[in-house]
């Protein structure tokens, strides 16, 4: 999704995963009046299944359809899955609307349940931001004490300044923030790395999972964030790129499901059947 030169391995991975046929969810809902304020739901058969809210990537610009196969995969792994949309850059969103929607999603859709918030790429940025909302000044429109039970950030954007500097996805960070004029002023409110510099932790159990050969997001995004997040758990998958984390049945996706089950155990969820083998079938 950016203009950098990538290897054949990375190009084939991106094409393979992003060309997967979208999966229609069994249920749909709304959390607001705008057309983008909607969500897809894959309810679990087990009423005690852990709730996972997925935030899609696409550099804050693209819709959630590319993540529907992965959402359906996690449902087959035993999770209760919600995949929301939100107002996006280049249209009705960007600062502040995208952040308004994400805050509204996590403040309303869990309906009081413990839940894990997972996000891929720019969705990972939004998930990490949600975990840091308690660090915002009390006068901020997004400050809250109602934080996720846990956050799993998959190959996330963590540093908007570096994203701007590196020109990822043809200026996606600038577009999100409304251009150069307000970038620095708005940064402390919405940048996970900036929010953590003084506090050192969000207080939310957080795992950062990424592939060792990710060519989409520079690896320094992961290492620089890990350097300031004092109680972050980092999982690095050898030989894994950016997109196979969300490719149903791939080793990267199985590692994501395994990690979600490990995190779910902290609030009493029990994994059915003891594994995800065969979860990609059907």
Tens of pLDDT along 226-265? 999 999 999 999 999 999 999 999 999 999 999 999 999 9
At residue 43 the predicted structure's pLDDT band, cuts being 50, 70 and 90, is: very high
At residue 282 the predicted structure's pLDDT band, cuts being 50, 70 and 90, is: very low
Greater confidence (267 vs 252) lies with: 252
Average pLDDT over residues 114-140: 98
When the pLDDT of each residue in the chain is averaged and rounded to a whole number, the result is 94
Is residue 4's pLDDT more than 70? no
The pLDDT score that the predictor gives to residue 268 is: 84
Lookup result for tokens 């998959």: 154
Average pLDDT over residues 168-196: 97
Is residue 277's pLDDT more than 70? no
The pLDDT score that the predictor gives to residue 96 is: 98
Contact 69, 253 (CB under 8 A): no
The pLDDT score that the predictor gives to residue 278 is: 39
The pLDDT score that the predictor gives to residue 5 is: 83
Superfamily of domain 8-267 in CATH is: Alpha/Beta hydrolase fold, catalytic domain (3.40.50.1820)
Greater confidence (272 vs 167) lies with: 167
- Convert the pLDDT of each residue in 67-120 to its tens digit: 999 999 999 999 999 999 999 999 999 999 999 999 999 999 999 999 999 999
The pLDDT score that the predictor gives to residue 281 is: 32
Is residue 274's pLDDT more than 80? no
The pLDDT score that the predictor gives to residue 276 is: 45
At residue 36 the predicted structure's pLDDT band, cuts being 50, 70 and 90, is: very high
Backbone φ and ψ of 41, nearest 5°: -135, 135
The whole-model pTM stands at 0.95
The pLDDT score that the predictor gives to residue 194 is: 98
Q: Give the span between the Cα atoms of 81 and 108, in whole angstroms.
A: 15
């Amino acid at each position: 999704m950016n203009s950098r030169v990538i290897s054949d391995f990375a190009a084939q991975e991106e094409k393979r995963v992003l060309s997967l046929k979208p999966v229609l969810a069994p249920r749909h809902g709304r959390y607001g009046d705008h057309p983008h304020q909607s969500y897809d739901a894959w309810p679990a058969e087990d009423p005690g299944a852990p709730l996972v809210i997925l935030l899609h990537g696409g550099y804050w610009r693209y819709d959630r359809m590319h993540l529907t196969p992965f959402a359906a995969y996690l449902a087959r792994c035993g999770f209760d899955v919600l995949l929301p949309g939100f107002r996006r850059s280049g249209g009705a969103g960007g600062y502040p609307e995208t952040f308004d929607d994400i805050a509204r999603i996590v403040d309303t859709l869990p309906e009081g349940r413990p839940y894990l918030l997972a996000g891929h790429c720019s969705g990972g940025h939004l998930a990490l931001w949600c975990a840091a909302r308690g660090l915002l000044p009390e006068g901020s429109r997004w400050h809250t004490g109602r934080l996720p039970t846990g956050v799993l950030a998959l190959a996330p954007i963590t540093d908007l300044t570096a994203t701007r500097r590196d020109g990822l996805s043809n200026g996606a960070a600038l577009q999100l923030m409304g251009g150069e004029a307000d970038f620095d002023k708005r940064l402390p409110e919405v940048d996970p790395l900036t929010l953590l510099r003084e506090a050192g932790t969000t207080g939310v159990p957080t795992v950062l999972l990424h592939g060792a050969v990710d060519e989409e997001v520079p690896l320094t995004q992961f290492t620089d964030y890990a350097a300031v997040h004092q109680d972050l758990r980092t999982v690095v998958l050898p030989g894994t790129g950016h997109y196979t984390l969300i490719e149903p049945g791939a080793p990267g996706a199985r590692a994501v499901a395994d990690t979600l089950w490990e995190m779910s155990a902290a609030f009493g969820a029990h994994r059915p059947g003891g594994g995800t083998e065969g979860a990609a079938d059907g």
